[in-house]
C-alpha cells in the first residue's frame, strides 16, 4: 500500500491538474485506477466509477504503472503506516515477473521444484502446464501444474501479524515473491497454509 503521504501528494497533483474536481476515477476490469491524467482514461469504457483516487485505491485498485512507479520511488525509503486488517493486496497483486523474462514467480517456482523438465503452454516458455512435483507435506506426486498451488512457507497472513504490516510495500512485494519462501503443494492442501506455516516456524 502506498504511504499516506505519497497518496496525498498524488491526489493533490491529480486534482490540481484535472479540468474539473468532479472528474471520475475509473476502476478498470483489470483492477487499475485510471484518473483523468492516465493515458488509458479515455480508452477505458468498462469501469466502476469513483469520486477520488483514494476511494478507488481503498476498494483494492492500483495505480497505473507510470504513476505507481513515481509513487514507489518517492516512498522507497519511507515506512508505510501499518494497516489494521490483513489484505493479500498489501503484498502486491499476483505473481511478479521482476526479471522481465515472462516467467512470473509462480512459473519460476514450478520450474525450480519440478523433478523433471517442465512443459510450457506455448513455445514462448512462459506458462508451465506439466512437470513432476512432490508435495513436501503429503508426498503426493502431481504432474498437472493446474493442480499445484504455490504457497508461502511463511504465510503472508502470519507474516502480517508478526511485523510485515509495518514494512514498506516494496519489501512486502519482494517477500511475497521470494523464491526461498515459495513451495508447490497440491491445491486442496494449501487451504490450511496458516497452520502449516505457523507449525514450521515453531
For residues 71 and 110, state if they share a domain.
no
Give residue 100's domain range: 92-201
Q: Which of 75, 100, 135 is the last residue of a domain?
A: 75
Query: pLDDT tens digit string along 53-76?
Result: 877 887 788 887 766 544 444 444
**Pick from 94, 140, 92, 141: nearest CA to 116:** 141
- pTM confidence score: 0.53
- Among the ranges given (100-104, 115-119, 166-170, 187-191), the one the predictor scored with the smallest mean pLDDT: 187-191
**Which grid cell sits at 96?**
511478479
Query: pLDDT tens digit string along 81-108?
Result: 445 688 888 898 888 888 888 989 999 9
Percent of the chain exceeding pLDDT 90 equals: 25
Asked if the structure places residue 86 within a domain, the reply is: no
- What interhelical angle do 169-176 and 65-75 show, nearest 10? 110
**Which grid cell sits at 148?**
499445484
C-alpha distance across the termini of the chain, in Å:
29
Asked if the structure places residue 87 within a domain, the reply is: no
Asked if the structure places residue 197 within a domain, the reply is: yes
Query: Helix H segments across the chain?
Result: 4-17, 53-58, 65-75, 105-113, 156-161, 169-176, 193-201
Dihedral over Cα of 91, 109, 199, 191: its sign? positive
Amino acid at each position: 500500500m502506498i504511504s499516506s503521504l505519497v497518496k496525498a501528494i498524488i491526489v493533490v497533483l491529480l486534482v490540481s491538474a484535472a479540468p474539473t474536481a468532479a472528474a471520475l476515477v475509473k476502476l478498470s476490469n483489470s483492477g487499475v485506477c485510471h484518473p483523468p491524467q492516465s493515458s488509458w482514461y479515455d480508452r477505458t469504457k468498462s469501469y466502476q466509477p469513483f469520486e477520488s483516487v483514494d476511494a478507488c485505491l481503498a476498494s483494492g485498485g492500483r495505480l497505473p504503472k507510470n504513476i505507481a512507479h513515481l509513487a514507489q520511488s518517492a516512498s522507497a525509503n519511507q515506512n508505510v503506516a501499518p494497516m489494521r486488517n490483513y489484505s493479500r493486496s498489501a503484498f502486491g497483486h499476483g505473481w511478479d515477473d521482476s526479471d522481465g523474462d515472462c516467467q512470473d514467480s509462480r512459473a519460476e517456482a514450478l520450474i525450480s521444484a519440478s523433478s523433471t523438465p517442465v512443459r510450457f503452454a506455448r513455445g514462448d516458455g512462459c506458462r508451465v502446464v506439466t512437470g513432476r512435483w512432490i508435495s513436501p507435506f503429503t508426498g503426493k506426486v502431481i504432474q498437472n501444474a493446474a493442480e499445484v498451488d504455490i504457497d508461502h512457507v511463511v504465510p503472508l497472513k502470519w507474516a502480517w501479524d508478526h511485523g510485515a504490516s509495518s514494512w514498506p510495500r516494496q519489501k512486502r512485494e519482494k517477500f511475497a515473491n521470494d523464491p526461498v519462501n515459495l513451495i508447490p503443494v497440491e491445491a486442496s492442501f494449501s487451504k490450511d497454509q496458516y497452520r502449516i506455516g505457523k507449525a514450521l516456524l515453531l
